[in-house]
Copies of this chain bind each other. A is one copy, B any other.
């Protein structure tokens, strides 16, 4: 419930903050082990998750571990329920405007494409949100 001050957590956070590489847990584990050779991979996973839940670090990506598929290959957008994991189509007229701006952004960045995903609890979701903190 409350964060204890441990060298493991301090080093994990400070090393992560030094990096611009957006490491995976195991990549950070390799780095942290130079300072704390005895640290375990599980500790890195656990601390990153805890700190992400607390908003101290950012976890890149909203999707779950399982891939999802769609028979509709037209460009359209999805909203994922953070509680039950369901994915639903969403539609909004403003998205064509967003797309046109993002196509300019793609040129600026010399990027290939973009993905947008919305999050929101589904109306008929029966799983109650678990409040953290």
Task: Give A contacts to B, CB under 8 Å.
Answer: 13, 16-26, 28, 48, 52, 55-63, 65-73, 78-79, 82, 86-90, 92, 94-95, 97-98, 101-102, 104-106, 108-121, 133
Chain A facing B: main interface SS = mixed
Distance between Cα atoms of A20 and B90 in the complex (Å): 12
The 9 A-B pairs at the shortest CB distance, nearest first, are namely A61-B63, A111-B120, A17-B71, A58-B70, A22-B87, A24-B66, A16-B71, A60-B68, A111-B118
- Copy tally for this chain in the complex stands at 2
- For residue A91, give the distance in angstroms from its CB to the closest CB of chain B: 9
Given the complex of chains A and B, what is the CA–CA distance between A78 and B23 in angstroms? Answer: 13
CB-CB nearest in chain B for A48: B69
Q: Which residue of B lies closest to A19 (CB)?
A: B71
Please, how many angstroms separate the alpha-carbon atoms of A110 and B108 in the complex? Answer: 31
